[in-house]
Amino acid sequence: MQIKYNSKPDKTKRKRAMNISIVGTGYVGLVSGTCFADLGVNVTCVDRDSQKINRLVYGAIPIYEPGLDNMINRNVNDKRLTFSSDYKKGFIDQDFVFCAIDTTASEDGSTDLGPILEIAKDFGENITRYSVFVIKSTVPVGTAQHVTKIINETLEERGARNIKFDVASNPDFLTEGNGIKDFMKPDRIVIGTETVSARQAMERLYRTILMHNNRTVIYTDTRTAEMIKYAATSMLATRVSFMNEIANLCEIVGADINIVRHGVGSDSRIGPKYIFPGCGYGGTLFPQDINDLIKIGSEHNFDMEILKAVENVNNRQKRILFKKLYNYFKGDLAGKTVALWGLSFKPETDDMTAAPAIDTINLLMDAGCNVRVYDPVAMNATKRRWSNVYCGLDMYDAVKGADAVLLLTEWRQFRIPAWHDVKKLMKTPLIIDGRNVYDGAELEDMGFTYYCIGR
Ligand SMILES: NC(=O)c1ccc[n+]([C@@H]2O[C@H](COP(=O)([O-])OP(=O)(O)OC[C@H]3O[C@@H](n4cnc5c(N)ncnc54)[C@H](O)[C@@H]3O)[C@@H](O)[C@H]2O)c1
């Protein structure tokens, strides 16, 4: 996405406002940084990827997030938001330095804390006055204390023991596609600190959001804050996998998962969210956090049995649309043309990380199918990944000559297709609905064969 700033990005900061730098200008860093700027804070977004920063300086927004382009434009023009790849400079004269980088796994599967500890070291080497190092990345329990030790050692080596600092854990609960709303109106803000000064600084920072929204803030120690993040993500993923397993059983015993879901979700102790059956979850968040928590357990000789099952059920679920297709054609898939609607792991994002579409496309290609796809925003990632997948000009172009249409992501524009046109364009009128959004009876009346999940 390309936007045009009214003025040239300017590095002059406004006087007296708080200064924040955010290291890691990905989903979390860019959304949080832009939202903080919109609340009147001077924000420098820093990233080691200088190309990404250069593109941002010239108005190219690296992610799709509804409303973000306008907000970036406004804050760059108002000189509250700047971008830099010189991140050591980003530590000078800052009230807060947020760490929002992505964490990757080391060879043994545990989270590689190396990059975060490097940033902590740079922070210790460069700060010139009291500053708070805030960990927004999802990190193993105990990381904030590790970071504190590194900064203390670095200041000691510098002979700058007189410079005070604090470390806070402020895990992020942003959901891609709802990032701005999640930041401005969060369900809760979790603030983990070990000192009174850190807690007071964080209170000051979040005052604007809290003032207007009457939101819940959970003040705790850093270890508990780190654990809350993992536990929350794991609970959501567990609900999804649990309902997918119930859906699969519904199919076998002849029950209807949509009504089961309604019956279960109307229980006020359970609630309706994250119990929709489908073709599996993806994204960076669920798979990585679950993997991390399983690993944290095993490092302490504790077997996270439920989470292992959650992961296994999800891996199986990502293959379910292919399995339905395979059964329908009795394994005779070579040469069949299959159209996919939706590629991103959920609507309103271009993120295809661990998306069910990836497994599905790979299985289809291995089976010798011709694959045609359409997604409103994730087409570029698809073109880069598979040269032999046909990327449709629109959702109708994608279904031309198809023996089946598989719905993987419930983007709004797929909700009410012009079915008569779809049927005319397809070779075999077979719809496999991975998100249970269509009315099967209506489609069957129009002459389609329809499959979904759990009915
Ligand atoms: N994306 C989400 O929905 C989400 C939600 C909540 C929490 N989180 C967590 O937040 C963290 C960031 O996630 P994300 O989705 O924004 O990641 P991302 O991959 O979109 O962005 C990370 C950015 O950090 C940069 N980076 C990496 N190492 C760096 C370094 N050493 N110095 C400077 N920049 C560096 C990368 O170039 C990249 O631009 C992760 O720990 C993630 O688990 C993500």
Tell whether 236 and 206 lie within a shared domain.
no
- Rounded to 10 deg, the angle between the 285-299 and 222-253 helix axes is 110
Any domain includes 244: yes
Residues with CB under 6 A from ligand 1: 23-29, 47-49, 52, 87, 100-103, 115, 119, 137-138, 172, 174, 176, 284-285, 288
Task: Pick the last residue of a domain from 263, 296, 316.
Answer: 316
Tell whether 357 and 419 lie within a shared domain.
yes
* Closest protein CA for atom 25 of ligand 1: 24
Reported pTM: 0.90
Task: Pick the last residue of a domain from 220, 255, 285.
Answer: 220
Any domain includes 236: yes
Tell whether 167 and 281 lie within a shared domain.
no
Q: Measured from the CA of 49, which atom of ligand 1 is nearest?
A: 37
CA of 353 relative to ligand 1 center, distance in Å: 13
Q: Measured from the CA of 52, which atom of ligand 1 is nearest?
A: 39
Residue 405 is predicted with a pLDDT of 98
Residue 238 is predicted with a pLDDT of 98
Tell whether 73 and 189 lie within a shared domain.
yes
CA of 450 relative to ligand 1 center, distance in Å: 40
Tell whether 192 and 283 lie within a shared domain.
no
Residue 218 is predicted with a pLDDT of 94
> What are the backbone angles phi and psi of residue 56, rounded to the nearest 5°?
-65, -40
Q: Measured from the CA of 30, which atom of ligand 1 is nearest?
A: 16
How many structural domains compose the chain? Answer: 3
Q: Measured from the CA of 173, which atom of ligand 1 is nearest?
A: 6
Residue 15 is predicted with a pLDDT of 52
Percent of the chain with pLDDT over 70: 96
Count of CA atoms in the C-beta half-sphere (13 A) of 447: 10
Tens of pLDDT, residue by residue over 253-309, are 999 999 999 999 999 999 999 999 999 999 988 999 999 999 999 999 999 999 999
Our mutation pick for probing the ligand 1 site, out of 104, 173, 284, 350, counting the most ligand atoms within 8 A of Cβ, is 284
Terminal alpha carbon distance of the chain: 40
* Closest protein CA for atom 21 of ligand 1: 26
Any domain includes 68: yes
Residue 4 is predicted with a pLDDT of 74
Our mutation pick for probing the ligand 1 site, out of 23, 25, 28, 44, counting the most ligand atoms within 8 A of Cβ, is 28
365, burial (CB in 10 Å: exposed 0-12, middle 13-18, buried 19+): middle
Contact 233, 285 (CB under 8 A): yes
Any domain includes 371: yes
Residue 286 is predicted with a pLDDT of 94
Three-state secondary-structure class, residue 11: coil
Tell whether 75 and 176 lie within a shared domain.
yes
Our mutation pick for probing the ligand 1 site, out of 21, 22, 25, 27, counting the most ligand atoms within 8 A of Cβ, is 27
CA of 78 relative to ligand 1 center, distance in Å: 26
Residue 43 is predicted with a pLDDT of 96
Token readout for 122 is: 């740079």
Residues 6+ apart with CB under 8 A from 79: 7, 10, 12, 13, 14
Tell me how far apart the alpha carbons of residues 175 and 184 are, in angstroms, rounded to a whole number.
12
Any domain includes 287: yes
Which CATH number covers residue 325? 3.40.50.720
* Closest protein CA for atom 1 of ligand 1: 27
CA of 58 relative to ligand 1 center, distance in Å: 21
Average pLDDT of the residues of the chain: 94
Tell whether 120 and 139 lie within a shared domain.
yes
Tell me how far apart the alpha carbons of residues 176 and 347 are, in angstroms, rounded to a whole number.
9
* Closest protein CA for atom 30 of ligand 1: 48
Secondary structure letter of residue 187 according to DSSP: S
User: For 34-39, which contacts have Cβ atoms below 8 Å and span 24 or more sequence positions?
Assistant: 34/68, 34/71, 34/72, 34/75, 34/81, 34/180, 35/71, 35/180, 35/183, 35/184, 37/75, 37/78, 37/80, 37/81, 38/71, 38/74, 38/75, 38/80, 39/208, 39/209
Any domain includes 5: no
CA of 26 relative to ligand 1 center, distance in Å: 5
* Closest protein CA for atom 31 of ligand 1: 115
Digit-by-digit pLDDT tens for the chain (455 residues) are: 677 776 555 555 555 679 999 999 999 999 999 999 999 999 999 999 999 999 999 999 999 899 999 999 999 999 999 999 987 778 889 999 999 999 887 777 778 899 999 999 999 999 999 999 999 999 999 999 999 999 999 999 999 999 999 999 999 999 988 999 999 999 999 999 999 999 999 999 998 777 766 678 999 999 999 999 999 999 999 999 999 999 999 999 999 999 999 999 999 999 999 999 999 999 988 999 999 999 999 999 999 999 999 999 999 999 999 999 999 999 999 999 999 999 999 998 889 999 999 999 999 999 999 999 999 999 988 999 999 999 999 999 999 999 999 999 999 999 999 999 999 999 999 999 999 999 999 999 999 999 999 99
Tell whether 322 and 429 lie within a shared domain.
yes
Residue 111 is predicted with a pLDDT of 83
Strands of 165-169's sheet, edge to edge?
81-84, 42-46, 19-23, 96-99, 131-135, 165-169, 188-193, 216-220
Tell whether 146 and 244 lie within a shared domain.
no
Which range marks the domain in which residue 322 is found? 318-451
CA of 285 relative to ligand 1 center, distance in Å: 10
| Residue with token string 């609340």 | 39
* Closest protein CA for atom 37 of ligand 1: 49
CA of 127 relative to ligand 1 center, distance in Å: 23
Tens of pLDDT, residue by residue over 385-438, are 999 999 999 999 999 999 999 999 999 999 999 999 999 999 999 999 999 999
Any domain includes 8: no
Q: How many CB atoms lie within 10 A of CB 214?
A: 6
CA of 52 relative to ligand 1 center, distance in Å: 13
Residue 104 is predicted with a pLDDT of 83
Paired residues of 406 in beta bridges: 340, 432
Task: Pick the last residue of a domain from 191, 220, 249.
Answer: 220
Token readout for 233 is: 């993500």
Any domain includes 55: yes
Q: Measured from the CA of 119, which atom of ligand 1 is nearest?
A: 31
Tell whether 39 and 92 lie within a shared domain.
yes
Which CATH number covers residue 238? 1.10.1040.10
Residue 129 is predicted with a pLDDT of 95
Tell whether 327 and 423 lie within a shared domain.
yes
Residue 11 is predicted with a pLDDT of 53
Tell whether 272 and 348 lie within a shared domain.
no
| Residue with token string 């190219």 | 60
